[in-house]
Structure 1
Amino acid sequence: MALNAVRQLRQLNIVRHLSTAAPELKYGDAQVRRTQETRASNHSKSDLYKFYTLPEEVKSSLFELGGVPKVFKEQSQIFNESAILVRSCMIELVGYLKQADKLDGVPCTRFVVYGEFGVGKSLTLMHALQYAQENGQLIVHIPWALKWFAYPKEVSLSTTKEGMVDLNIDAAMWLRHFQLQNKKLLEDPKFVISHEYIWSAREKSEANIPLKELVEHGISRVKYASDVVDALFQEIKKLSTQGVCRTFVCVDGYNCFFTEHSNCRPEDKSKVPPSRVTLTQSVINLVQSDWSNGSIVLGLSPRANLPDRRASPLPLYLLKKEGFESIDPFIPIYVPELNDEEFHNLLNLYESKQWLQLKNVRNEIAFITKQVAQKVYEYCTYK
């Protein structure tokens, strides 16, 4: 009862606050606040609560094969514009990344982005990825890890790791994603592998061949793709530690690696949890702090957990003890619901695009959606 009373008071406070602002926020009166600064590296407090347009070249080079939330992708197609709201959590994360980039030869820093469903965690990761690309970093990006376990393309028993299973088609598709995101960097002759990898009696990758050839081997020889991903992660850790490059690792939905069930079914139709998938081992090894000259950003989402474990967005609850200890220590980045300025500027955008055509409904929208960005978009769809 006490908790319900608190919620009701909060909702009343929202309505009371919006009512006082109503005269200057009527339909069609307010203009969309925008910033002309499109580089994530340059965003500052002066850009807060304003929209910037994601450059098309960044969108095509970073997110052609994944990483854009479904709702944002749909909105961008409808509005014919990829408008991203600059938020304090984005500037906070990039600020930390800038500080981490000044540290040479120290273990990589880990950041955990968390919050309720639909508040904008994936857009915060997109902003961080844009920063990494602008600063010439090697990018290791897993757009939505749950996809591997919820909708696997093919499941086969591993020939190199007893008791494990491979998702080779998914691994090959991810290698293509990695290849596109790092197309320019992979041309650098300094990116070579450290030792020989033997795939079969007739196939092997010689030591000192270009890293891009290792990636191409996993794409063209799909049955080795999972093992190639594991080898690639080992080589990236070595290259980064040696100072050849600075690496940015970003995994969205990291908590799904620690759930008990998946839809992975090998030939014997047995149930395989994520812990028995080779890609899981590879990713967990990658995010350890046993290498340097890198930053690791992990997104957590209640939606990446099983339905019976989505009551809280807090890291310890979503990851449980095993997952939490796998990345401890880390710096938490909380993504909240929209504040009043962000909420009103978002509705200004919707009005300017004729997505919201009813007048004097801001109080209603704030009350029903609790100013959760995705809920605001979905509610305005029917307004």
Structure 2
Amino acid sequence: MEPLAIYITFTNFFTSFFKSYFKPLIPFFMEYFNVNEPRIFVMMASILTLISSFSQVFFGYLADKSNKKLVFLYISVLITMTPILFLGHIKSIWFLFIIFLIGYLGSSAQEPLGAGISGALGKGKGIAIAIFMVGGTFGYALGPVFITYYVSNYKLENLTYIGIVGILLYTILFYFAYNYFKTHKHLSSKGKKTRFFESFKGFKYIAPIWFLTVHRAFVSIMFRSYVPIKSRMLGYDLTIGGLLVTLGFLAGTFSNLLGAKLEEKTSVKFVNLLYFSAFSVLVFLFASSTNIWILAISYILADAFMFLTMSVNVHYAQQSLPNNKSFASGALMGFTRAMGNVLITVYTFFFGNNIPFILNSLWVFGIIGIILTFILIKEPIFEKSN
């Protein structure tokens, strides 16, 4: 594995770790601000993801044109650190929203660039992108359990010092990485000097996988948002919800790599069918049960199956747009999350406080995902397309 790939993967871990705090803290924010309706913070989480995810397409376009990719990464990491620097000083819901929006935008700048570089390093195989995403998944796994444990046991104000230490450590790493990698061939601009909206001309080539990934984003993000809420409603400690989210991401760390290997042997169609089929069954079990062990196992497995398709779909899009890998990555990673969150925002506006209905509807949407896979992806199930 190339040293540059290790650095890019660690950067994805670092930004994901510090970005992952909002959703597992929704029960805490409800108590902190004395708000009884989860819908407010679920919609806020969706809007945050919506704005930052839409921006990934633009950041991907900039990344494809940039000859200062390492500096681009460094600045994005600093911006991502905004929430942890100020979380201990929040006085209003609006201030909470602003600091997380800034942090989400920083992460959105990093993700398509890192995925684009990883795709170039992978020499046509999806495993390099999968490893890059493992870094992010691992960050998302550790972040929720860290932050829920911290706010349950320590003063929120001291998070600022953790943020400062994190910035100093990454700055030292960046200093050495910049001097070592600054002339690397995959850090120079490969794309033509086109305007931003001209980049969308190639969107038609990735449209089918994009629509399918939007549906995946809709069901998976909404499911993950309601997991800590249900565990809290059943009387479990705040850290239980954070731990479930963490264990789901940890399972996804391995299934992401498994998905890349499966795609090499079968097809993107097979991997997506496998995900939606398993998701439907497991979410049905989660929605129907109040037993903590069934809840934990069904959620962790559902999250693991979701991660099967994560790098697979991005790799499929990069193959369709080989000269604009960061743009393709932004479209599949961020733009799909944005559209998924548009759907979540509308859906939760009408049904967001009816938690049993939300959870039961999700397994139905999983079945719809199976149908969409057959309609949108034309390649054979068990044979790789050329």
TM (norm. structure 1) is 0.24
Larger relative contact order, structure 1 or 2 (CA cutoff 8 Å, min sep 6): 2
TM-score (norm 2): 0.24
User: As a proportion of its length, which structure holds more strand?
Assistant: 1
